[in-house]
Chains A and B, each alone.
Chain A
């Protein structure tokens, strides 16, 4: 048999590993030796990836505003006129016993009037009134951890509080949260669409770069086939090139996103202070960083696979 003349030095596993090692190193060296085209491609990939990454980060931070315990929506209970401060305080004590409620703060009507004077500047007009028209207010902070569906459970709690005889009006401060959540849901979908479109762009950029690589190395491919290279052997270095493009593009995009973040931290913190919030910008975190690198490498692999597959089918 012809096969008896073959000289295989290694086991199939070692042979496979040697091929992978060769393809990895060779593809890296090729990128290194063509710095200009490599950097242009990497820049295009990085920009395309940094946009969805930044939007994701923006959304993540926006969500933290609504999810954060500090920003838990509250329910304001306006106590009926004629109820004394002591009775209102007793009511607050009673409410604190409820498991759904985390905190109850009493704003006595005198304090409320003082604040009203200070904020509105209607001090003189208020002086003309015989008695304080403002009621005592109980600001109730629900225990969000005990609520399954915050939106519905908040409404249920509000109905329960309404049933107390001392309570005149119940006002939920949840509307802004609901609106924000609605906006976030739309934003989330917009970001998903943008991410898919830009992901496809990365796929096309890498696919086209690999296609050009194949064109430049047509002779090498032909010679390799003539001397017995398998399809996998021919395909492998191109696949690694795609992975490198995706991975390095992903790394550069992360650098860009973090640079932008550093640029924004100070003004955002200053704005948060003005709003009396201790909100700070969150970074991508290890999980999201690894996720971006994995996705970008996968996009590189798929782009390269499609380009090489097309060439090998046509060859």
Chain B
């Protein structure tokens, strides 16, 4: 499903974030990406979502070399990837429902389908009662679950999460991880960047360790 072949990434500042990374994730697999701060976890996720471009090597997603995707096709490619961020990236002037509905609106879905899908996603993250509330009114855990609902509402084949439990207490973090596990069981390939080793061990999934490039 996702394959890195000798991938390196150097930022324009000269900082080498990744060097000669080779990794392969099967379709429907769930894995954790871990490593020190600055090891390139976030960079690796961004490369998959084409938010950054590689300096060397090749990345294949579903058999397609993603570097060859035309610029105009990148938004369509991203719609098949659900991304979750540590700081949620929710829009404060929109309700929970509207935040989650955003990917579906971009997709051009009919309002009745949007309503059905958003409610289903809210149900999966146990936030049905909060659909009319604004992000400011939610706890950190609830915000993260809204972020997850928005990432999965489009039923993406790949879910990428960057430190999704970073600001959460252990119980909430565990809840969130179980939510990811559920989506993985529905068939999505899930890759989570985290440095919470205890939590990762508990999940009993494959762990990919990135080491900081020293050059």
> Which positions in A face B, CB cutoff 8 Å?
1-10, 14-16, 18-19, 22, 219-220, 222-231, 233
Contact = CB atoms under 8 A, between A and B. Distances in A.
A55 to B, nearest CB: 42
Contact of A3 (B51, B80, B108, B110): B80
Interface in B69-95: 72, 75-81, 83, 89-91
A16 B106 CA distance: 10
B79 A228 contact: yes
Query: Which 10 A-B pairs rank lowest in CB-CB distance, beginning with the nearest?
Result: A15-B108, A228-B79, A228-B78, A5-B157, A2-B62, A9-B109, A230-B75, A2-B80, A228-B75, A227-B103
B50 to A, nearest CB: 10
B136 to A, nearest CB: 14
Contacts of B61: 2
B108 A8 contact: yes
Contact of A227 (B62, B106, B110, B155): B106
Contacts of A18: 105, 108-110
B76 A228 contact: yes
Contacts of B75: 225, 228-231, 233
B113 interface: yes
B103 A228 contact: yes
Interface string B27-68: 000000000000000000000010100000000011110000
A28 B83 CA distance: 30
B80 A226 contact: no
A231 B51 CA distance: 15
Nearest to B151: A227
B150 interface: yes
A22 B109 CA distance: 11
Nearest to A1: B62
A16 B90 CA distance: 25
A229 B91 contact: no
B154 A7 contact: yes
Interface in B153-178: 154-158
A22 B101 CA distance: 12
A97 B117 CA distance: 87
Given A2-B64, A2-B80, A5-B157, A226 B107 contact: no
Contacts of A14: 108, 110
Given A1-B64, A2-B61, A7-B154, A227 B78 contact: yes
27 contacts: A2-B61, A2-B77, A2-B80, A3-B76, A4-B157, A5-B156, A6-B76, A6-B80, A6-B107, A8-B108, A10-B108, A14-B108, A14-B110, A15-B107, A19-B108, A223-B91, A226-B51, A226-B83, A227-B83, A227-B102, A227-B103, A228-B75, A228-B81, A230-B75, A230-B76, A230-B106, A233-B106
